[in-house]
Chains A and B, each alone.
Chain A
Amino acid sequence: NAGVTQTPKFQVLKTGQSMTLQCAQDMNHNSMYWYRQDPGMGLRLIYYSASEGTTDKGEVPNGYNVSRLNKREFSLRLESAAPSQTSVYFCASSDGQGFIVLTFGAGSRLTVL
């Protein structure tokens, strides 16, 4: 049982390049999330998808786009990467029933030069 799988684990980009972070879960969860983690800042919510077919902005959505491709997959796209987007990105999912309890992926470390 893989849980939440993120790819790639590491990526180095140059300013202005684009890339997509992929996330897939095999727990039949309804809700999926993208967070970024920066030193001393904790986790900040970028975008979330409460259910298949819906997406909503979180605290720090600027510079990002998301796609809920199907129930399993939720991708995060950086159209024109900036050094301020250097961070560790976490995808998470929840069954969306009752209280939200998150299952996290292992993270994707992105460096923008």
Chain B
Amino acid sequence: SQQGEEDPQALSIQEGENATMNCSYKTSINNLQWYRQNSGRGLVHLILIRSNEREKHSGRLRVTLDTSKKSSSLLITASRAADTASYFCATDLNDYKLSFGAGTTVTVRA
């Protein structure tokens, strides 16, 4: 079974607004990652947060991790049309495998 689960399944926002999505997972992890998938394309790695980190930033992305609640959130600030995509969290099952959630589909309206 899959380790991670994103919430909400879909999100529609106005350009310039912030988008927040969450990921919950089941077992302890070494790190959690977020990937983006544009329609019809492969996934692209966005950011990795280690289990001993609580927050990480990369450009307009902010990721938090709460290992006590087994959850993470991804915040995209000042959204743009180009942010329209599906976003997936991924957790490491062991040194060689990642498990992905079902994703959050984000639509940014002009």
Contact = CB atoms under 8 A, between A and B. Distances in A.
Contacts, number: 63
Contacts of B102: 40-42
Interface residues of A, number: 27
Interface stretch (A13-21, A62-70, A75-83, A99-107): A99-107
Contacts of A101: 33, 45, 48
Interface stretch (B11-19, B57-65, B73-81, B92-100): B92-100
A74 interface: no
A100 B96 contact: yes
Given A4-B42, A42-B2, A43-B88, A96 B96 contact: yes
Contact of A58 (B33, B50, B97): B97
B26 to A, nearest CB: 14
A42 B45 contact: no
Most chain A beta-carbon neighbours within 10 Å: one of B4, B42, B45, B101: B42
A92 B33 CA distance: 15
B107 to A, nearest CB: 16
B27 interface: no
Nearest to A90: B42
Interface range for B: 20 to 34
Nearest to B96: A50
Most chain B beta-carbon neighbours within 10 Å: one of A42, A102, A103, A104: A42
A76 B44 CA distance: 22
A103 B35 CA distance: 10
Interface string B1-26: 01010000000000000000000000
Given A42-B2, A45-B97, A99-B31, A104 B48 contact: no
The 5 closest A-B pairs by CB, nearest first: A104-B42, A42-B102, A43-B100, A50-B96, A104-B43
